[in-house]
């Protein structure tokens, strides 16, 4: 399925629908980059994780990645990846701890990635930051 263009994305009725569309485009892109998606929209008492995936191409071997996805229509308010500040990082780290404790038997390395989608000239521009931050807690 091809990615929905940002023009179609903008026409969706609300932020929840736009978020779902952006996440679907992001997950499709992540798969093309070699990530194996394990879970999406994981809800924990600490918050939601947009995507959990295994990166088999990581230098340290297979790595479990907790991925925050942000979409923007442009960079007028800054880059999409810059929208993941300290508070969001802390929430994602707590959610990852819940996930590892209750839903996973993963014993290998983990990291936090941020994927920004920005609308540029009628197409998505993807900006992936691998190992974007350490657990701030």
- CATH number, domain of 35, equals 3.40.1350.10
Is residue 13 a part of any domain in this protein? Answer: yes
pLDDT given at position 99 = 95
Share of the chain above pLDDT 70, in %: 83
- What pLDDT was estimated at residue 1? 41
Q: Is the pLDDT of residue 128 over 70?
A: yes
26 part of a folded domain: yes
Q: For residues 120 and 137, what is the distance between their CA atoms, to the nearest angstrom? A: 35
Choose the weakest-confidence range: 34-38, 61-65, 81-85, 92-96: 81-85
Dump pLDDT digits (tens) for 94-126: 999 999 998 878 989 999 999 999 877 778 889
> Which sign does the torsion angle of CA 59, 62, 67, 72 carry?
positive
Q: Does an H or E element contain 116, and which?
A: strand 110-120
In a domain, 69, yes or no: yes
Res 55: pLDDT: 94
Reported pTM: 0.85
In angstroms, the Cα distances linking 30 to 69, 94, 110, 117, 133 are 11, 23, 17, 12, 19
Which residues constitute the domain of residue 59?
6-90+103-131
* Amino acid 8: pLDDT: 59
- Tell me which of 77 and 12 has the higher pLDDT: 77
Mean pLDDT, rounded, for 33-52: 95
What's the structural domain count of the chain? Answer: 1
Residue 111 · residue 102 · CB < 8 Å? no
pLDDT at residue 30 above 80?
A: yes
Report DSSP letters for 24-76, one per residue.
HHHHHHHHHTTEEEEEEEEEETTEEEEEEEEETT-TTSSEEEEEEEEEES-ST
- Cα(64)–Cα(109) distance, integer angstroms: 6
Report if residue 70 sits inside a domain: yes
């Amino acid at each position: 399925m091809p990615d929905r263009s940002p023009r179609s994305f903008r026409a969706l009725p609300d932020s929840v629908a736009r978020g779902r569309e952006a996440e679907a485009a992001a997950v499709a892109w992540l798969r093309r980059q070699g990530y194996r998606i394990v879970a999406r929209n994981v809800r924990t008492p600490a918050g939601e994780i947009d995507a959990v995936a295994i990166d088999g191409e990581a230098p340290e071997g297979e790595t479990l990645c907790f991925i925050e996805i942000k979409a923007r229509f442009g960079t007028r308010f800054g880059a999409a990846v810059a929208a993941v500040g300290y508070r969001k990082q802390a929430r994602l780290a707590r959610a990852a701890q819940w996930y590892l404790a209750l839903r996973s038997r993963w014993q290998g390395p983990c990291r936090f990635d941020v994927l920004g989608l920005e609308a540029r000239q009628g197409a998505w521009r993807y900006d992936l930051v691998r190992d974007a931050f350490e657990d701030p807690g």
